[in-house]
Chains A and B, each alone.
Chain A
Amino acid sequence: MVDARGGAESRVEPDLAARQAAIAAVAWLVIAVLVHVAAHARLLFPEALDGVALLSYGRLRPIADNAFLFGWLATAAICAMFAIVPRAVGAQLHNEVLGATAVIWWHLVMFAGVATLLLGMNQGRPLAELPLGVDIGLLLLSLLVFYNVAMTAVRRNEHRLYVSVWYLLAAALMLPVLIATGSVILSGVRDALVGAFYLGGLEFLFLIPVSLGIAYYVVPASTGNAVPSRTLASIGFWTLIFVGGFTGVRYLVSGPIPLYLQAIAVAMTVVALVPVLTAAANVVGAARGRWDLVGRPSAVRYAVTSVVALVVWTALSAVTAVPSVSRLVGLTSWTAGLRTIVLAVVSSFAAFALLVYVYPLLVGRTWASERASSFHFWGSLAGALTVAGSQMAAGLVQGSLALAASRSGESAAGQAVAGELGFVMRGFHWVQLAGWLLFGAAQFALAWNAARTARAGEPVQLYAMAAPTVGSRA
């Protein structure tokens, strides 16, 4: 491997850090899904194991969420940064040993985070429940990741920075910024505003940039096509970064915040469709003439699914932010359904696209089982959509009952009953449990296939695949 600093032969094995991140990401995915299943089972059987604090829903839920976000998706994002940026800039990762060390410590800190959550050390903020000490650890490690990725781009051999590198650099920069923001606990509505910025930032400034960075790389690299428009890519990138900081306040629409903030949040969430649609046009355009790849287990199939889901999710988020819609589905399970789409479909399918494309390069073998790959795609999609669909349907029922209760002048106690919905909600919980079980089975298939590939996959000639040609130098 030629190194970025002038052609010297690197002594460290290429992709060491990326390979570690890929394996660890899959392990965290399996853990996260198992805990999601356990948490949903607790909702259905609250009296089973009653008295065991460690297995209460309030302890399992943050573990499931954080394992999914910081264990699975963040580690997959680090894998994308360590695997794609070097290839796109024509240089080895700036410091493989530093990268591998950061990955190992990231997981040690995450395990400590899981332990603290089990003990009930919860910060009380959605997706930022990890206590301050854990946050500081993740912050320092994310700074190391950012330094490594940025230095790789600075000492590049390619003159132009490819679109994927813009998105992955931005995400690498925003990860420590968001971790720091999420650990700032204020008082009152100021605290709610910080929490809302953090949530919107996670979606629009970290998860979506990583997803698009992956899609912009694996689709052209797999199809050999050029990305249709660099101008469109540039407009999409800068618009996304601009609106990303404004969109979080939509979580507080109609709440105790000034009206101008709500207007800004709604407007910016609608504007977010611009970068999403431009990116979708470019990515889908790069798949032109190679739709056969969407019909079989390939990185393109996962990436296109992720981008289509992103368009749907952004449109639904924009519609949901509008006060006349928000009054019906805001603060209901509909919100949870949207979160499931962005985490389990948009971000996860982009991460799957990365793994499907890059894992053979990292272990030097082709995927061992096409049947397992196919089951993984359909199982993941059906499972995630079952969970999200059930949550959104439950939200519609909740909102409709609350509206009916208000119109009929029912008392607050009546509203409380409408909030719980008794056996109706229980039915939705059963469907969600089934969805998580299916999604989980698919992840076991992925883990099994990855392990088998490392041992028994067909050897590939690394030099033929290590530097795939990106159709366009967009």
Chain B
Amino acid sequence: MSKRRRVTERVGVLLAGVLLLVSAGLGATVVIPTLDEAMGETTGHARTYEEDAPGLAGMRVYEREGCWYCHTQQVRRTITDTALGDRLEAGDYDGQSPAMLGLERSGPDLTHAGTRFPNGGELRRSVTGGSVHTYGHLTDRELDALVAYLQSLR
């Protein structure tokens, strides 16, 4: 009987092999990059918030209401994203936990929402009068916090 066959006939060895191979992927794509110094690079657009800052409360509203399902916060190294503003480096996201970069851009990218909408009133109207959302259940305080967060994205 070959050695290969024995591996797939012994439960413990099979499971150990699975864990070993998966660890290789986890190490290469998560652990090693985390130790990479380049991950600390910033372009000066860092998003960090003080403990009681409205921006932090607004980030929680953004997280809770699932805004990140339809809006991204990443400008990619592609021609399609050139008009969206400066591209952010890894270090720029250091203050975001969780990092809501987004996977789908059904709505506009919000990486530089604060630059695009310097007027808070205009931003507020776009939140409450969008074509797919109105957020009528948010309190004024929550809306103010959300607008403050979006304006901090510059």
- Residues in chain A within 8 A of chain B (CB atoms): 43, 46-47, 50-53, 56-59, 61-62, 120-126, 150, 153-154, 159-161, 166, 169-170, 173-174, 177, 181, 185-197, 201, 205, 230, 234, 237-238, 241-249, 251-258, 261, 264-265, 268, 323, 326-328, 330-333, 335-336, 398-399, 402-403, 405-407, 409-417, 419-420, 422, 425-426, 429
Contact B80 A399 (CB under 8 A): yes
Contact A406 B29 (CB under 8 A): no
Partner of A255, one of B12, B65, B76, B85: B76
Residues of B within 8 A of A406 (CB): 79-83
Residues of B within 8 A of A242 (CB): 21, 24-25
Contact A124 B79 (CB under 8 A): no
A196 to B74, CA, bound (A): 15
Given the interface contacts A57-B132, A193-B34, A415-B108, does A234 sit within 8 Å of B103 by beta carbon?
Answer: no
Task: With CB as the reference atom, state the residue of chain B lying closest to A240.
Answer: B21
Given contacts A193-B34, A336-B104, A399-B80, 12 further A-B contacts (CB under 8 A): A46-B130, A53-B137, A59-B66, A185-B98, A188-B94, A197-B25, A245-B21, A256-B87, A258-B36, A330-B76, A331-B103, A412-B85
Contact B83 A192 (CB under 8 A): no
User: Which of B21, B91, B115 counts the most chain A CB atoms within 10 A?
Assistant: B21
Count of A-B residue pairs with CB < 8 Å: 256
Given the interface contacts A58-B64, A124-B68, A197-B26, does A327 sit within 8 Å of B79 by beta carbon?
Answer: yes
Contact A166 B14 (CB under 8 A): yes
Contact B77 A46 (CB under 8 A): no
Nearest Cβ in chain B — how far from A386, in angstroms? 18
Tell me the B39-72 residues at the A interface (CB within 8 Å).
Answer: 39, 63-69, 72
Nearest Cβ in chain B — how far from A412, in angstroms? 6
Partner of A193, one of B29, B77, B91: B29
Task: With CB as the reference atom, state the residue of chain B lying closest to A402.
Answer: B80
Nearest Cβ in chain B — how far from A217, in angstroms? 16
Cβ-based interface call for B102 (8 A):
yes
Contact B83 A410 (CB under 8 A): yes
B interface, size bucket: 35 or more
Contact B11 A188 (CB under 8 A): no
Task: With CB as the reference atom, state the residue of chain A lying closest to B85.
Answer: A412
Given the interface contacts A187-B95, A242-B24, A426-B131, does A120 sit within 8 Å of B64 by beta carbon?
Answer: yes
Residues of A within 8 A of B36 (CB): 258
Tell me the B7-29 residues at the A interface (CB within 8 Å).
Answer: 8-9, 11-12, 14-15, 17-19, 21-26, 28-29
A425 to B95, CA, bound (A): 33
Contact A124 B98 (CB under 8 A): yes
Cβ-based interface call for B88 (8 A):
yes
Residues of A within 8 A of B115 (CB): 412
CB-based closest 6 A-B pairs: A245-B25, A58-B66, A327-B78, A50-B136, A416-B108, A254-B76
Task: With CB as the reference atom, state the residue of chain A lying closest to B137.
Answer: A53
Given the interface contacts A197-B29, A258-B33, A405-B83, does A170 sit within 8 Å of B18 by beta carbon?
Answer: yes
Partner of A328, one of B80, B88, B133, B135: B80
A153 to B101, CA, bound (A): 42
Given the interface contacts A237-B8, A242-B21, A255-B74, does A335 sit within 8 Å of B104 by beta carbon?
Answer: yes
A417 to B83, CA, bound (A): 12
Residues of A within 8 A of B103 (CB): 126, 251, 331, 335
Given the interface contacts A191-B99, A332-B105, A422-B131, does A412 sit within 8 Å of B64 by beta carbon?
Answer: no
Residues of B within 8 A of A122 (CB): 63-64, 66
Contact B9 A409 (CB under 8 A): no
Partner of A189, one of B25, B81, B99, B105: B99
Nearest Cβ in chain B — how far from A163, in angstroms? 8
- Residues in chain B within 8 A of chain A (CB atoms): 4-5, 8-9, 11-12, 14-15, 17-19, 21-26, 28-30, 33-34, 36, 38-39, 63-69, 72, 74, 76-85, 87-109, 112, 115-116, 130-137
Residues of B within 8 A of A187 (CB): 93-97, 99
Residues of B within 8 A of A426 (CB): 131
Partner of B33, one of A125, A257, A411, A425: A257
Task: With CB as the reference atom, state the residue of chain B lying closest to A230.
Answer: B5
Task: With CB as the reference atom, state the residue of chain B lying closest to A231.
Answer: B4
Partner of B22, one of A234, A244, A253, A403: A244
Residues of A within 8 A of B101 (CB): 189, 192, 252, 255-256
Nearest Cβ in chain A — how far from B50, in angstroms? 16
Given the interface contacts A57-B133, A190-B34, does A256 sit within 8 Å of B90 by beta carbon?
Answer: yes
Residues of A within 8 A of B85 (CB): 412
Q: Could you list 28 examples of A-B contacts with CB < 8 Å?
A: A46-B133, A56-B135, A56-B137, A59-B65, A120-B65, A121-B64, A160-B9, A186-B99, A187-B93, A188-B95, A188-B97, A193-B34, A244-B22, A256-B87, A258-B36, A265-B29, A327-B76, A327-B80, A328-B80, A331-B103, A333-B104, A402-B80, A406-B79, A412-B85, A413-B116, A414-B83, A420-B106, A420-B107
